[in-house]
A and B are shown apart, each in its own frame.
Chain A
Amino acid sequence: MDSLEIDLIKRAQNGEREAMEQIFLMEREYLYKMAFLYMKNKEDSLDLVQECILRCITSIRSLKQPQYFRTWMTRILINCAHEEWARRGRYDFTEEEVFTAGESFPDEERMDLYHAIDCLNFPYRDIIIQHYFVGNKLNEIARTLNLPIGTVKVYHSRAKSRLKCMLEVEE
């Protein structure tokens, strides 16, 4: 992040509307794509972007280090996505139920990879999305999710195993 962006963020923290707009327009593509990975359709993704921006602005003063603005924003977006999923009742899987859900699909069309990812629980789904779809490194994901890097590595391994397991069940 360059000094111009940091200055923009500081100005936004001071309440400058133009600076806020510039920041989020600069991050527009990242924000939307990240939202899309979670919501899978345009309308919900736009709603998620909107909610994320609202929360970012109202709490931007709590951001202590402007250089980590994107990490902080990503975390807020992920939290918004989790809340939305919880609200829709899609987030009530226990770890055991994930497998049950996976096994209950044989009569449906073959469960593809993305559907399997949807069935993963927090934080496995986030790690898979962040790592394989966004391209973030595990240490960056650890920062975003506020988890130790060792934990993220373990979760990453588990998530892959579970995906494999779910896909194998389908086959």
Chain B
Amino acid sequence: MTEYRVWDEIEIPKELDKVIKDAVEEGHRRLQRKRKGKYLRVAAISMATAAACFIAVAVGFTNPVVARAYSNIPVIGNIFAYLYDTADSGIPYAQVGEAAVPVKEWDEAAQNPGQEEPGREGLGQKESGQKGLGQGGSGQEELGQQGGAVPDGEADTEDPVQIAIQEYFCDGYSLYLSFEVSSEEPFMEGVTDIAGKAGSIFLYATETIATETGERAEIGKNGSMVIRGMFTDERTFVGIARSGGSLDEYPVKDGMVYEMDSAHMRVFAGEQEADIRGEWKVSTEIACTGESLMTESLGQTIRGDCVLKEVRIQPYEIQVVIEEPKGRSLADEFVLIEVFDDQGRRLSWASQSSNRFVEEGDMRQEVWMFEKPADAQKVTVFAVDELKWMDEWKGYLYSDDPWSGEQMVEFLKENCFTYGEVELP
């Protein structure tokens, strides 16, 4: 009964290519509109700090945070704590991030590649526009020094807007950076009451990671980075960004150098936005923090040999680990991981592009990463059949009268493969 002949005999119409190209163009246009709408929604939350309380994007900027931030935490050099600490938080954010150690000799090294020490060659060679990297010890500024990650040669530029990395946190895969962006002129002309308000800066950026052996890799393939934070005054913005989508499969090791180049930023504050152009280059050496703050073992079967293994709590992420036999993927079977916090908020994916995969023997771990609200006390992790409950998801996400997060949580508890509840530190 095999009818492959039918398949072979189907004629391809001439207009198929045009149909495909038109469809791609239309699809791309819709995608852009969708993303723009999404981004504008993100920008819109900066209209008021109070409004930001219930928007996932503004998780770190609730009123208690602002109150604490203004009370006793210095901004410079402590942006993580400034934005993330809450009165109830069990995580000492002031101690979590590492101070950024900029590489200030890259320009010098690029100009004098022959003067590099053995073992550092290659980093200083100016090839294909790449910047050379200086020696770690001598090239580092003192920690906490004003100016952060801006190399000396760039700190003296006449660019009216300056960007500096102040701290970073890297678990070997996810890299979070805190930025201070300062401007000689107010970011928004005519906007005087911007201090203390949430906002964001969208950077069109190229990010790279370099090792001591000279190996370089571009990360954050989106070509963009979003810094979310707040304005401390009309000329200063502090915020946190997750580098790219992730560090992908790149083996991040201690001593690696992160670099970010950008020539265009868009600043969002309330309903206002402003485009700023310049030449910004920042860098920092990176040391990884291997251990998570807390790991909750679950060990619950999802389907067959696939297990909801554990939940790792990181300072800025919730990481859900699925263990599955090699060659099998629950994601491929449309089994998705969803996470809600104790306030009924569905947590956004921290990485929009991909999960992390770690192979161990015959098994493979798939790590799902979610943004961690600073004020969450508990999270509930679900393994859900996406297709089976597609209508419920659409209703929850898009209907005019959607279920509340709490209602969705109750529904999922009754209809998921398995779930686990984890108290946060």
Contact = CB atoms under 8 A, between A and B. Distances in A.
Interface in A127-157: 132-135, 143, 146
B222 interface: yes
A74 interface: no
Interface string A14-25: 110100110011
Contacts of B2: 132, 135
A32 B14 CA distance: 11
Interface in A75-93: none
Given A58-B27, A146-B387, A64 B21 contact: no
A133 B222 CA distance: 39
B28 A25 contact: no
Nearest to B25: A17
Contacts of B355: 64
Contacts of A134: 7
Interface stretch (B225-233, B288-296, B330-338): B330-338
A53 B15 contact: no
Nearest to A134: B7
B13 A42 contact: yes
Contacts of A101: none
Nearest to A164: B1
Interface residues of B, number: 41
A10 B353 contact: yes
A135 B13 contact: no
A153 to B, nearest CB: 16
B398 interface: no
Interface in A55-83: 56-58, 60-61, 64-65, 68, 71
A54 B13 contact: no
Interface stretch (B29-37, B95-103, B270-278): B29-37
Describe A's contact surface by its main secondary structure: helix
Contacts of A113: 1, 3
B31 A58 contact: yes
B354 A64 contact: yes
Contact of B3 (A33, A60, A61, A133): A133
A21 B19 contact: no
A171 interface: no
11 contacts: A10-B354, A14-B353, A15-B32, A24-B24, A32-B16, A37-B6, A42-B13, A46-B15, A49-B20, A54-B27, A64-B354
Interface of A: 10-11, 13-15, 17, 20-21, 24-25, 28-29, 31-33, 36-37, 42, 46, 49-50, 53-54, 56-58, 60-61, 64-65, 68, 71, 113, 132-135, 143, 146, 160
